[in-house]
Amino acid sequence: MNKYFALLLFFLFFSFSFSQQVKVTGVIKDSETGQPLEYATVAIYNPSDNSVVTGGITDAEGKFSVPVQAGTYNFSF
């Protein structure tokens, strides 16, 4: 019984360690008018070396959704 329990825990831990991807979503708006910014570039940087990790573009309503590994990042719009 202990073997099966240990094996079950191993597979649960193993599956959670590879599913650490999250989705960052948001809306970019003009600071003066409050209107959404269409097709603006979103860049996500690694804070330790300032390298680009990934990025995306907003849609016609200023919305973006970018999948990224869980962690701490800097953003540029």
- In this predicted model, what pLDDT tens digit does every residue of 52-70 receive, in sequence order? 999 999 999 999 999 999 8
Q: Domain extents for the chain?
A: 21-76
Contacts for 24 with CB less than 8 Å, ≥ 6 apart: 44, 64, 65, 66, 67, 68
Q: CA–CA separation, 71 vs 21, rounded Å?
A: 9
User: Which pLDDT score is estimated for 19?
Assistant: 56
The pTM of this model reads 0.70
Q: Tell how many helices (H) and how many strands (E) occur in the chain.
A: 1, 5
Per-residue pLDDT tens over the stretch 3-56: 665 655 555 565 555 557 889 999 999 989 999 999 999 999 999 999 999 999
